[in-house]
Structure 1
Amino acid sequence: MDNNYRVAVIESLKKIFRDKSYSNLVINNDIKNIDVKYNSIYRKSVLGVVENLMLIDWVINQMSKTKTKKMESEVLFTLRLAVYQLYFLDNSFENIVVNESVEHIKRNVNVRASKFVNAVLRNIIRNKDNIIRDMNKLSHIDFLSVKYSYPKWLVSRWIGEFGKDKIEDVLVANNSQAPFTIRVNTLKVSRGELIRILERKGMIVEECKYLDKGIIIENPVEIDKMNEYKSGLFSIQSESSMLAGQVLNPKENSLVIDLCAAPGGKSLNAAEMMKNKGKIISRDVYENKISLIEYDKKRLGVENIFVETYDATVLDRKLINRADYCIVDVPCTGLGIIRRKPEIKYNKLESDLESIQKIQFKILENASKYLKLGGELVYSTCTVNKEENINMINNFLKSNSNFIMVDISEQTKNSFETSQKGYVEIFPHLHRMDGFFIAKLKRL
């Protein structure tokens, strides 16, 4: 193992936990500075520590008189990485992990701190079996919380939602790696053609089960550097997010309003489906994110998207009764995409739920006012909480009798029991896709 990659992992972890940055953005940025032969171990180590943080800290606290909350940051992140490697990496050599960690602290902190790190790690190695035994003695919720690194409130909530017998499946699936998927740009190429191109380049690919335009790539390497990406033959997008666009199913020459558009996947998908005919107004409250849509428009050859900075919670009277379709992908707790951003587990509080629901309801209400008679909207979230999903839709329908839910069986390949009722709930442990909610409503 190389100390250079260890330094990079520790620096990346500081950005994620201390500076509250998203792990996917940190990894994509920092991996550029690492020798390619260490890319895999770097990525695995950063994500491994983030996914297993509560277990790692619990192990350290079992064996250290100084607790993690009181540790100096360099020492803490060095220990976290070392414990992850001692417990989770198959080929990890205990002495090498300890020696490299001790040397790193000696160089970057001081000799006294390096002796402390050495003592804690040696103590952990000596007591590995006892530590596992002590974890197994914890109460059921504490055990699940520690073993899978989820806050107790979330474990309890998910036991209520999915049942005691399914809870470990749910936690394991949310800690597993998400498949890498792309959306074919049908303005430029068919799915069959793109599959043949990718296979000729040695890629292992398969069609997405629920999607007309989706491809899963088993061995994606530097996808964004490929000529096919640069020339706009495809975009990187999750299956669940693509399915929301498929459910929308917009007709050519329509007016579509995407209220919370950035980074733009759903708007761009709609433009491709509409064959560049009609108009899509793509709005987002964050100006810096809007530029991502502008970049992708050019890359994909999309001409019918008009990008604007606008706060979706504020009603725009100019658009009332004008839209054929609205895309309502609201801000949410994000608990369906933990596989992609594992730090979400620790950053969300149960108390966040109430304030975010008010925002969601306001945006949904505004979108409903933009629709013409007969117009349709798709409401979606990347979370699995009923309060933000089906309960939100039911509350809206109670106070808006001029809206109904629309059968979406055809758009979801008849694969979900609830699709006839107008909505689908997607769960990683059942569908191998990001946790998502998609509902389609029509104005009467």
Structure 2
Amino acid sequence: MDVNIRELALNILLEINRDGEHSHIAVGNTLAKYQFLPKSDRAFITRLCEGTVEYRMQLDYIIDWVSSVKVKKMKPVIREILRLSVYQLKYMDNVPDSAAVNEAVKLAQRKGFRNLKNFVNGVLRNVARRMNEITYPDREGNPSGYLSIRYSIPEALVKSWCEEFGESICEQIISSFLNQRPATVRLCRTGHDPEQTLQELKGQGVEVKKAPYAVDAYEISRYDYLGGLAAFREGKIQVQDVSSMLVAQVAAPVPGMQVLDVCAAPGGKSLHVADLMNGQGMVEARDLTEYKVNLIRDNIERLGLVNIRARVRDASLIYEEDMESADLVLADVPCSGYGVIGKKPDIKYRSNQEQQESLLELQREILKAAASYVKKGGVLIYSTCTIGKAENLDQVLWFTEHLPFQMESLNPYLSPELHTETTAQGYLQLLPGIHACDGFFLARLRKK
């Protein structure tokens, strides 16, 4: 079967930028479909697609700098061909410039744009020749414009984070989004010996390294793909970021508890809580759609846990029959997701103020509903995978002001390296580039 790997990459980019698919899903679906390709080809597709999406604003700036037709005016196919080719010219040293240009011209012809092959050729030769002449925004005169193009992130986000965290921390955050991130897994305990799982992984040639902050967290590398690992297929490991593992750690569930996770998909936190409860009690993992709930069910089945079930429920609605029924409620609410831009780079281009306002409203609706399920004296954990105050601390302060809950110190549950003034108060804000994990917020709240 003749497969053109650049054409596969082009189709993925069109799915993301033209059709609105999330980058990790578009890449993952294609790799699953073409699992038979050599590992080097799959790695090339992944690097090319992720890199082109990550650096999209910078690539567009470069194209606009040399081209008389601006990126916004181009046909989607030509625009994506130029983007992925400029990425190769600037960032993929193992691809000769001539190959990047020639393959782009062939790709334009393959896609039915024979009449534009000279345009594609001209723009790319120009970029290759003049790459070092391109002038970028001046850091002194226009710091937010400079950071925006340098790290390919919308200027509105740069300005808001410079204001909130200062320019130096803002730069650490946005530069970290462009770094390679190892896969992190949690070792499952129910029915398994974590030490034995580690030995099994090493026996399969996987490189395993202890990850910070969370008890059972490990970084894994040097494996072909996840489904090829026996430990994954047999439910001995669960892919999960360290930041997300801290939710169950801070929740500190005990066997026999009744637990509700109101926004659970794909189920990492619920599964972790059920695992810590050692097969006893019950965790109900809820999400809004059958599709998402089925993702949770797949994971429950693979991990073989008996004390967890999944069902379709709307987290913003209050279900009377569940009032004050749970010892522990997890509310990992829908959010802007800016803490995981490193893994899902297209998130940064989707930001807008209107969406932000409606998110804040939805978060409060979910919090009010979640609060009603907590027994008196029970615990609610609020979390998001984002980094701004508005969706995090401000929401918790609003919550404790309007509902009978108070924050509780996180220090008894966290490793000492994460202890700060705020964790003693009851909340933790993790920042990418500052902490060795995704950006994440969590707070522990006790019902009075």
> TM (normalized to structure 1)?
0.96
1:280 paired to 2:302: no
Aligned partners of 2:76, 2:212: CA distance in 1, in Å? 45
1:437 paired to 2:441: yes
1:356 to 359, 362, 365: 359
1:121 paired to 2:121: no
CA positional deviation for 1:218:
3.0
Aligned partners of 1:25, 1:220: CA distance in 2, in Å? 20
1:191 to 183, 189, 194: 194
- Taking the TM superposition and a 5 Å limit, the aligned residue runs for 1:214-253 are 214-253=217-256
**Stretch deviating more after TM superposition (403-412 or 5-14):** 403-412
CA positional deviation for 1:191:
2.7
SS in 2 for 1:327: strand
CA positional deviation for 1:313:
0.6
Percent identity of equivalent pairs = 33
- Taking the TM superposition and a 5 Å limit, the aligned residue runs for 1:170-319 are 170-319=173-322
Q: Which amino acid aligns with 2:212?
A: K
User: Is the Cα contact below 8 Å between 2:409 and 2:426 reproduced in 1?
Assistant: yes
CA positional deviation for 1:134:
4.2
SS in 2 for 1:199: helix
- Taking the TM superposition and a 5 Å limit, the aligned residue runs for 1:69-84 are 69-84=72-87
User: Is the Cα contact below 8 Å between 1:178 and 1:434 reproduced in 2?
Assistant: no
CA positional deviation for 1:373:
1.2
1:86 paired to 2:80: no
Aligned partners of 2:26, 2:372: CA distance in 1, in Å? 39
User: Is the Cα contact below 8 Å between 2:260 and 2:328 reproduced in 1?
Assistant: yes
User: Is the Cα contact below 8 Å between 2:201 and 2:229 reproduced in 1?
Assistant: no
Q: Which amino acid aligns with 1:233?
A: K
Aligned partners of 1:85, 1:30: CA distance in 2, in Å? 20
1:406 to 402, 405, 408: 408
- Deviation string 1:87-109 (CA, Å, 9 cap, x unpaired) is 11122211111111111112322
| Residues 399 and 110 of structure 1: CA distance in aligned 2, closer, same or farther (over 3 Å) | closer
1:419 to 416, 423, 426: 423
1:64 corresponds in structure 2 to: 67
CA positional deviation for 1:29:
1.3
Aligned partners of 1:212, 1:178: CA distance in 2, in Å? 19
2:19 corresponds in structure 1 to: 19
| Equivalent residues, number | 441
1:397 paired to 2:406: no
CA positional deviation for 1:224:
2.0
User: Is the Cα contact below 8 Å between 2:204 and 2:229 reproduced in 1?
Assistant: no
Aligned partners of 1:219, 1:394: CA distance in 2, in Å? 44
1:47 paired to 2:50: yes
Aligned partners of 1:302, 1:337: CA distance in 2, in Å? 28
Give the aligned CA root-mean-square deviation in angstroms.
1.5
**Stretch deviating more after TM superposition (275-284 or 103-112):** 103-112
- Deviation string 1:181-223 (CA, Å, 9 cap, x unpaired) is 1111101223322222212222221222211121111334312
- Deviation string 1:238-277 (CA, Å, 9 cap, x unpaired) is 1111111111111111110110111111111111111111
Aligned partners of 1:345, 1:134: CA distance in 2, in Å? 20
SS in 2 for 1:384: coil
CA positional deviation for 1:129:
1.8
2:29 corresponds in structure 1 to: 29
Aligned partners of 1:201, 1:319: CA distance in 2, in Å? 45
- Deviation string 1:154-207 (CA, Å, 9 cap, x unpaired) is 000110122122332121112222231111110122332222221222222122
User: Is the Cα contact below 8 Å between 2:259 and 2:328 reproduced in 1?
Assistant: yes
1:4 paired to 2:7: no
| Residues 139 and 383 of structure 1: CA distance in aligned 2, closer, same or farther (over 3 Å) | same
1:147 corresponds in structure 2 to: 150
- Deviation string 1:331-351 (CA, Å, 9 cap, x unpaired) is 000000001100000012133
SS in 1 for 2:186: strand
